[in-house]
């Protein structure tokens, strides 16, 4: 008897009898549940909850590489940390569609045994490759690549009778990577950092290192050296990136450095490619995977290195289902499999900075930008004195600098983290703000698409001619700027400038994003207007001016991470200026130039900022010094949601027992999404209390009525 974990929404494992031939821990199996079959993983000894005569039998062991003990342990600990059911966590690791579908049939070649005396060098090389592979049938492309010849050589050998063509179910393999294709001379800082990481890898023990350095200081070059070392040691490597930083430019750069394309994993990768990568990772046949957060769940066989680039990025946190943070879980996975973890950022998260200060993580600093590039000058523009007319957002001082860039043939970037035309549409007759029917959110006008769009649920409707509330015609006006509206102002101010707006609505596809980045890189535009899409990674050599239109946006609202996020985002955007020889300038428009966060940005006083921010969080008992969990209760029936949430707080004894504070229930900051009312309970506890255990004990006492959902978010990025 064994226990089997499936992805069915149950509490845990189910017991099964073992079929003939046995089943070992980690085996992927097919088991009956009710009237259907489910895929599962043999998780351990049976638990004995079911009487022996009621036990059912495992149907079959599936032809997949068994799940490694390391992976099982990772999933268990992730489930415990995030207070999530194991089946939901298993789903993360197996949700690749069609992992059971056999690979496609393709033409492969094997040796016939007939070997003429005389063979050309090229042909001989192909034969040798096959011999070295023990005669395993191989595709023409692979043979040609490994032998360094063209595929016609393989075809020629077939004609000759030395090779035979067959059909086989095999995946195309990934190109062999490394050693470093393109050698570059590292600076002293870089060399020291790279050597440190290489020696960590050599020890084969777990460690985590914060790699900190301003944008352009060569962090990527340094961690690619570490990747190459991992590959040299025969280990697999994983580089996690925020999805929007996973551009072709980045992948080309990796390919250029390592001599081949890595495996790539993100939401737009098609099903057959996912299946291939999932299986190859498990068979140890892909050396490097570059991917978005869910790549962390690939079943690597021999993982030696995990890099989390832009580690502070909030997109590493999954905000639905299992609320995990891929950065933290990367560290967990590395610690379980004895791998080296590298967290790379110009503006690390406070958590990581504190862990480095506490010596839990190593820390490496790259001090300067590479080459002659220097950090841009940073200045504020006091918008209280700018005296702008209505519906204008570009101050005279900023406009002047843009004009100067235009006359010098350099580029400017205007940063405004607001998609669409105007964040708010208001009726001048009745004061009504046009809202979404299903959400507690305003509809945002998108003039480019001539629609009002809800940024919560995506609902769209035409811009109405008359007010939906009072019916008066022609009184609806847009209020406030979005990037599209800013574009109008820019066109107005700078007649002949070439303008590019970079915003996800306008760009649409990864393809057009790539084209747009190319355009800007080549200098094919003068002024870029962008949302946070432009904040990351791109290297625009002609760009020497960054204007932050509204530096204060992120500082409003009571979110405990507001300061940190603003600091990171503005520093990052400012870092786009002056990445080549020309000196850059970043101008921050603000109504509160004396605000400590803005002062810290201007002074480029990173350490000062973190010291102050850490002190403040410590006093407040906020993460990482205390623990938060945000619990959202949602449902279609508002009364039921309130009742349920209230009852949950009454039953919160297990939480009080660890001295936790429980706040709420209160309407969540977004009190309705997609027609579901949302209430929030906040739990706050000291750092060294059994937080998760208490939450689990509490959860066990709760009976959620049908139609009401509860989701637990440990370490919330924001209060939802």
Shortest distance in whole angstroms from residue 196 CB to ligand ADP: 16
Segment contacting ligand ADP (CB under 6 A): 73-81, 212-220, 462-470, 709-717?
A: 212-220
Closest CA to 213 of 571, 711, 472: 571
Segment contacting Zn ion (CB under 5 A): 164-172, 302-310, 459-467, 710-718?
A: 459-467
Answer whether 629's CB lies under 8 Å from 683's CB: yes
Among residues 242 and 435, whose Cβ is nearest to ligand ADP? 242
At 680 the three-state DSSP class reads: strand
Q: Which of Zn ion, ligand ADP, none does residue 282 bind (CB under 5 to 8 Å by kind)?
A: none
Number of residues interacting with ligand ADP: please give it, by CB under 6 A: 15
Q: Which of ligand ADP, Zn ion, none does residue 213 bind (CB under 5 to 8 Å by kind)?
A: ligand ADP
Shortest distance in whole angstroms from residue 186 CB to ligand ADP: 5
At 132 the three-state DSSP class reads: helix
3-state secondary structure 474-530: CCEEEECCCHHHHHHHHHHHCCCCCEEEECHHHHCCHHHHHHHHHHHHCCCCCEEEE
Phi, psi angles (nearest 5°) of residue 477: -130, 145
Among 457, 553, 670, 710, binds Zn ion (CB under 5 A): 457
Among residues 185 and 320, whose Cβ is nearest to ligand ADP? 185
Q: Which of ligand ADP, Zn ion, none does residue 184 bind (CB under 5 to 8 Å by kind)?
A: ligand ADP
Q: Which of ligand ADP, Zn ion, none does residue 439 bind (CB under 5 to 8 Å by kind)?
A: Zn ion
Among residues 453 and 534, whose Cβ is nearest to Zn ion? 453
Answer whether 317's CB lies under 8 Å from 351's CB: no
Shortest distance in whole angstroms from residue 311 CB to ligand ADP: 12
Shortest distance in whole angstroms from residue 539 CB to ligand ADP: 6
Residue 69: how many CB atoms within 10 A of its CB? Answer: 12
Shortest distance in whole angstroms from residue 253 CB to ligand ADP: 7
Segment contacting Zn ion (CB under 5 A): 79-87, 196-204, 455-463, 571-579?
A: 455-463
* Structure token pair of residue 663: 């706040």
Q: Which of ligand ADP, Zn ion, none does residue 436 bind (CB under 5 to 8 Å by kind)?
A: Zn ion
Residue 218 found at the interface with ligand ADP (CB under 6 A): yes
Residue 217 found at the interface with ligand ADP (CB under 6 A): yes
Answer whether 557's CB lies under 8 Å from 598's CB: no
Among 439, 569, 602, 652, binds Zn ion (CB under 5 A): 439
Shortest distance in whole angstroms from residue 258 CB to ligand ADP: 14
Segment contacting ligand ADP (CB under 6 A): 63-71, 125-133, 208-216, 427-435?
A: 208-216
CA–CA separation, 211 and 348 (whole Å): 9
Q: Which of Zn ion, ligand ADP, none does residue 186 bind (CB under 5 to 8 Å by kind)?
A: ligand ADP
Q: Which of Zn ion, ligand ADP, none does residue 456 bind (CB under 5 to 8 Å by kind)?
A: Zn ion
Answer whether 451's CB lies under 8 Å from 585's CB: no
Among residues 455 and 718, whose Cβ is nearest to Zn ion? 455
Shortest distance in whole angstroms from residue 49 CB to ligand ADP: 52
Closest CA to 526 of 478, 553, 494: 494
Residue 120: how many CB atoms within 10 A of its CB? Answer: 12
Closest CA to 276 of 101, 136, 141, 71: 101
Residue 220 found at the interface with ligand ADP (CB under 6 A): yes
Among 456, 514, 539, 580, binds Zn ion (CB under 5 A): 456
Among 216, 304, 482, 593, binds ligand ADP (CB under 6 A): 216
CA–CA separation, 75 and 210 (whole Å): 24
Answer whether 610's CB lies under 8 Å from 350's CB: yes
The DSSP code sequence of 80-110 is: HHHT--HHHHHHHHH-STTTTSPPPEEEEEE
Closest CA to 527 of 415, 395, 439, 602: 415
Among 324, 370, 415, 679, binds ligand ADP (CB under 6 A): 370
Query: Which parts of 79-221 are beta strand (E)?
Result: 105-111, 163-169, 207-213
Shortest distance in whole angstroms from residue 7 CB to ligand ADP: 37
At 32 the three-state DSSP class reads: strand
Phi, psi angles (nearest 5°) of residue 621: 65, 25
Residue 219 found at the interface with ligand ADP (CB under 6 A): yes
Contacts (Cβ under 8 Å, ≥6 apart) of 163: 109, 110, 111, 112, 126, 130, 154, 157
Shortest distance in whole angstroms from residue 340 CB to ligand ADP: 18
Segment contacting ligand ADP (CB under 6 A): 217-225, 380-388, 424-432, 472-480?
A: 217-225
* Structure token pair of residue 487: 């574009």
Find the binding residues for ligand ADP in span 184-203 (CB under 6 A): 184-187, 190
Segment contacting ligand ADP (CB under 6 A): 23-31, 210-218, 425-433, 507-515?
A: 210-218
At 342 the three-state DSSP class reads: strand
Number of residues interacting with Zn ion: please give it, by CB under 5 A: 7
What is the per-residue binding string for ligand ADP in 437-456, x denoting contact by CB under 6 A? --------------------
The per-residue b/e assignment along 656-685, b for 16 or more CB within 10 angstroms, e otherwise, is: eebebebebbebbeebbbeebbbbbbbbbb
Residue 415 to residues 408, 514, 559, 717: CA-CA distances in angstroms? Answer: 21, 19, 22, 23
Shortest distance in whole angstroms from residue 214 CB to ligand ADP: 7
Segment contacting ligand ADP (CB under 6 A): 60-68, 215-223, 313-321, 329-337?
A: 215-223
Among 231, 331, 454, 476, binds Zn ion (CB under 5 A): 454
Phi, psi angles (nearest 5°) of residue 228: -60, -40
Find the binding residues for ligand ADP in span 499-558 (CB under 6 A): 539
Among residues 215 and 294, whose Cβ is nearest to ligand ADP? 215
* Structure token pair of residue 569: 């985002």
Among residues 385 and 607, whose Cβ is nearest to ligand ADP? 607
Among residues 262 and 482, whose Cβ is nearest to Zn ion? 482
Segment contacting ligand ADP (CB under 6 A): 104-112, 180-188, 357-365, 629-637?
A: 180-188
Residue 309 to residues 24, 217, 312: CA-CA distances in angstroms? Answer: 37, 14, 8
Residue 671 found at the interface with Zn ion (CB under 5 A): no
Among residues 672 and 684, whose Cβ is nearest to Zn ion? 672
The DSSP code sequence of 215-248 is: TTSSHHHHHHHHHHHHHHTT-EEEEE--GGG--H
At 649 the three-state DSSP class reads: helix
Among residues 258 and 381, whose Cβ is nearest to ligand ADP? 258
Segment contacting ligand ADP (CB under 6 A): 20-28, 39-47, 77-85, 209-217?
A: 209-217
Residue 301 to residues 64, 69, 330, 533: CA-CA distances in angstroms? Answer: 13, 10, 15, 34
Among residues 435 and 537, whose Cβ is nearest to Zn ion? 435
Residue 215 found at the interface with ligand ADP (CB under 6 A): yes
The residue ranges that bind ligand ADP (CB under 6 A) are 184-187, 190, 213, 215-221, 370, 539
The residue ranges that bind Zn ion (CB under 5 A) are 436, 438-439, 454, 456-457, 459
């Amino acid at each position: 008897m064994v226990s089997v974990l499936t992805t069915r929404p149950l509490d845990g494992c189910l017991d099964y009898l073992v079929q003939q031939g046995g089943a070992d821990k980690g085996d992927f199996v097919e088991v009956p549940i009710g009237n259907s079959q489910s895929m599962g993983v043999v998780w351990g000894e049976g638990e004995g909850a079911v009487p022996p005569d009621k036990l059912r039998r495992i149907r079959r062991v599936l032809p997949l590489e068994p799940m490694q003990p390391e992976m099982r342990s990772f999933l268990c600990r992730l489930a415990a940390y995030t207070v999530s059911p194991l089946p939901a966590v298993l789903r993360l690791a197996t949700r690749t569609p069609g992992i059971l579908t056999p690979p496609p049939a393709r033409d492969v070649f094997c040796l016939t045994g007939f070997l003429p005396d005389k063979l050309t060098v090229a042909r001989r090389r192909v034969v040798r490759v096959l011999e070295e592979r023990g005669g395993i049938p191989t595709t023409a492309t692979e043979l040609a690549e490994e032998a360094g010849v063209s595929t016609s050589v393989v075809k020629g050998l077939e004609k000759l009778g030395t090779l035979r063509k067959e059909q086989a179910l095999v995946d195309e393999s990934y190109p062999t990577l490394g050693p470093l294709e393109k050698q570059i001379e590292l600076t002293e800082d870089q060399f020291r950092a790279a050597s440190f990481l290489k020696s960590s890898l050599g020890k084969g023990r777990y460690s985590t290192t914060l790699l900190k350095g301003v944008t352009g200081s060569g962090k990527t070059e340094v961690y690619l050296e570490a990747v190459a070392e991992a590959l040299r040691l025969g280990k697999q490597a994983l580089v996690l990136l925020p999805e929007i930083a996973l551009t072709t430019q980045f992948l080309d750069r990796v390919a250029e450095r390592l001599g081949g394309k890595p495996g790539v994993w993100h939401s737009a990768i098609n099903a057959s490619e996912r299946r291939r990568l999932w299986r190859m990772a498990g068979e140890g046949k892909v050396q490097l995977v570059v991917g978005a957060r869910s790549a962390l769940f690939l079943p690597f066989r021999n993982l030696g290195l995990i890099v989390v680039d832009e580690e502070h990025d909030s997109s590493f946190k999954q905000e639905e289902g299992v609320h995990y943070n891929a950065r933290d879980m990367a560290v967990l996975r590395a610690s379980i499999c004895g791998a080296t973890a590298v967290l790379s950022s110009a503006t690390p998260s406070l958590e990581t900075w504190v862990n480095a200060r506490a010596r839990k993580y190593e820390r490496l600093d790259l001090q300067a930008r590479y080459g002659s590039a220097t950090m841009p000058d940073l200045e504020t523009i006091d918008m209280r004195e700018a005296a702008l007319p209505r519906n204008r957002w570009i101050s005279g001082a900023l406009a002047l600098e843009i004009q100067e860039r235009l006359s010098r043939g350099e580029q400017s970037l205007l940063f405004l983290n607001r998609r669409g035309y105007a964040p708010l549409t208001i009726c001048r007759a009745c004061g009504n703000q046009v809202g979404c029917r299903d959400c507690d959110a305003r509809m945002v006008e998108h003039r480019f698409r001539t629609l009002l769009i809800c940024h919560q649920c995506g609902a769209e409707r035409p811009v109405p001619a008359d007010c939906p509330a009072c019916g008066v015609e022609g009184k609806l006006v847009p209020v406030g700027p979005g990037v599209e509206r800013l574009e109008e102002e820019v066109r107005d101010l700078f007649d002949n400038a070439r303008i590019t707006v970079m915003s996800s609505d306008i760009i649409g596809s990864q393809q057009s994003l790539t084209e747009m980045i190319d355009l800007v890189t080549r200098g094919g535009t003068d002024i870029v207007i962008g949302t946070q899409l432009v904040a990351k990674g791109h290297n625009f050599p002609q760009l020497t001016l960054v204007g932050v239109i509204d530096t204060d946006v992120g500082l409003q609202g009571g979110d405990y991470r507001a300061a940190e996020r603003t600091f990171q985002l503005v520093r990052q955007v400012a870092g786009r200026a002056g990445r080549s020889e020309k000196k850059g300038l970043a101008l921050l428009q603000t109504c509160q130039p004396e605000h400590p966060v803005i002062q810290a940005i201007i002074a480029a006083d990173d350490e000062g900022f973190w010291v102050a921010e850490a002190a403040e969080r410590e006093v407040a008992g906020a993460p990482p010094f205390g623990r938060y969990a945000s619990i959202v209760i949602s449902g279609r029936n508002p009364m039921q949601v309130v009742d349920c949430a209230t009852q949950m707080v009454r039953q919160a004894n297990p939480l009080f027992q660890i001295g936790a504070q429980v706040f709420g229930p209160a309407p969540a900051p977004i009190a309705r999404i997609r027609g579901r009312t949302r209430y929030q309970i906040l739990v706050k506890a000291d750092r060294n209390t059994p937080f998760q255990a208490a939450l689990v004990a509490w959860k066990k006492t709760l009976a959620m009525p049908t139609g009401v959902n509860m989701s637990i978010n440990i370490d919330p990025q924001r209060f939802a």
